[in-house]
């Protein structure tokens, strides 16, 4: 965890360092159990393909959690988020192999608001696709 | 089977009270791969100004899915969950959930629209403590792929 970022030290337009988060099939199984979302498309290749997906896909909420971590690791206080919204623009495809798939997250300080709040615009990519678009988090900084 | 658009505007009963536990928060944090100590270590959370370990920002989905799941599972709505993908998700937070919170979630289907061959449904779910304190609101967009235009 990084030190807490201060509102006065943040500049609109600044880019945050990108980060990469690995995901393997086992992570999706864990996320099924932890979240209670056992939709078959997140663990069953046979049914995922039968309903027209390329393979098993990650829960959108798993990808959103990686984007949340990106912001909270930067801000330093996970409780500082006041708004967080994402659009799932493409699935994160997670094949049954021994390699990890990467979710690459990047962010920009889009705007400074009153009340010590800043808007972070986020993008996430995986396998060459943009998997999160129109994604924004608002965090309140000290 | 087609999705029943008459369900737009329908509200569902609040869920039974859900007690947020340290163990569940830690399990969730491990599942998303986030090692932050405020999700696991009470002392770290207290030092950061919280009454107990706090939950990650996306944790409320555990509670809100139980509520929106009621809607999705309603046979009258006619959704095939294997064809459903998550389109958008947004949270508005009054504060983070923490261990010891006892909350309920209450869902409303806001809109049901056809977009090409897809059916797009938006829901709003309010998370409140059993004492009535508003904690967060979750807005979800769910897409049932390729079923629009099927025979009723």
- Over residues A64-95, the pLDDT tens digits come to 999 999 999 999 999 999 999 999 999 999 99
Chain B CB contacts of A74 under 8 Å are: none
Q: If phi over 0 gives left and psi between -120 and 50 gives alpha, with beta otherwise, what is residue B132?
A: left
pLDDT of A2 above 80: no
Q: Nearest Cβ partner of A79 from B61, B66, B96?
A: B96
pLDDT surpassing 70 at residue A19? yes
Shortest Cα distance, chain A CAs vs residue B112, angstroms = 18
Distance CA(A5)–CA(A118), nearest Å, equals 11
Check CB contact under 8 Å for A78 and B96: yes
C-alpha count within 13 angstroms, C-beta hemisphere, residue B49 = 8
Is B33–A84 a contact, with Cβ atoms under 8 angstroms apart? no
Contact map slice: B 98-137 vs A, CB within 8 A: none
**CA–CA distance, B9 with A40 (Å, rounded to integer):** 28
Binary contact (A79, B50; C-beta < 8 A): yes
Chain B: closest CA distance from residue A88 (Å):
5
**Which helix H or strand E contains A21, and what residues bound it?**
strand A15-23
Residue B150 confidence (pLDDT): 55
DSSP-assigned letter for residue A1: -
CB-closest option in B54, B87, B139 to A88: B87
Q: Which residue, among A76, A24, A133, A93, has the nearest Cα to B88 in the 3D structure? A: A133
What's the predicted TM-score (pTM) here? 0.93
Looking at CA atoms only, how far is residue B106 from chain A in angstroms? Answer: 17
Nearest CA-CA distance, residue B62 and chain A, Å: 5
For chain A, report the end-to-end CA distance as a whole number of angstroms: 16
Say whether residue B82 is in contact with chain A using an 8 A CB cutoff. yes
Side by side, which strands form the sheet with B18-19? A15-23, A101-112, A117-126, A129-140, A81-88, B84-93, B134-144, B118-129, B102-115, B18-19
pLDDT (tens digit, 9 = 90+) per residue, B51-98? 999 999 999 999 998 888 888 888 899 988 778 888 999 999 999 999
- Could you report the per-residue pLDDT of B96-137, keeping only the tens digit for each? 999 999 999 999 999 999 999 999 999 999 999 999 999 999
ipTM value, please give it. Answer: 0.95
- In A, which residues are within 8 Å of B83 by CB distance? 51
Among positive and negative, which fits the CA dihedral B41, B58, A39, A102? Answer: negative
Beta carbons within 10 angstroms of residue B148's beta carbon: 16
């Amino acid at each position: 965890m990084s030190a807490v970022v201060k509102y006065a030290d943040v500049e609109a337009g600044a880019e945050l360092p990108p980060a990469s988060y690995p995901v393997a099939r086992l992570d999706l199984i864990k996320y099924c159990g932890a979240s209670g979302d056992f939709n078959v498309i997140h663990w069953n290749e046979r049914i995922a393909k039968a309903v027209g997906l390329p393979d098993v896909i990650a829960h959108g909420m798993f990808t959103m959690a990686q984007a949340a971590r990106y912001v909270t690791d930067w801000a330093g206080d996970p409780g500082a988020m006041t708004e967080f919204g994402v659009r799932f623009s493409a699935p994160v495809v997670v094949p049954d192999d021994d390699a990890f798939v990467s979710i690459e997250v990047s962010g920009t300080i889009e705007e400074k608001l009153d009340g010590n709040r800043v808007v972070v615009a986020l993008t996430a990519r995986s396998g060459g696709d943009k998997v999160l678009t129109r994604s924004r988090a608002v965090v309140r900084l000290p | 089977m087609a999705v029943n658009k008459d369900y737009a505007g329908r509200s569902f009963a609040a869920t039974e009270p859900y007690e947020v536990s340290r163990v569940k928060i830690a399990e969730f944090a491990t599942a998303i791969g986030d090692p932050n100590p405020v999700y696991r270590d009470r002392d770290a959370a207290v030092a950061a100004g919280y009454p107990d370990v706090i939950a990650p920002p996306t944790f409320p989905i555990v509670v809100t899915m139980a509520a929106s799941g009621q809607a999705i599972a309603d046979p009258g709505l006619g959704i095939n969950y294997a064809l459903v993908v998550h389109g958008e998700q947004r949270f508005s937070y009054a504060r983070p959930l923490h261990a010891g919170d006892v909350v309920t979630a209450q869902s409303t289907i806001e809109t049901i629209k056809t977009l090409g061959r897809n059916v797009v449904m938006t829901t709003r779910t309010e998370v409140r403590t059993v004492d009535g304190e508003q904690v967060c609101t979750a807005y979800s967009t769910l897409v049932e792929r390729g079923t629009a235009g099927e025979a009723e």
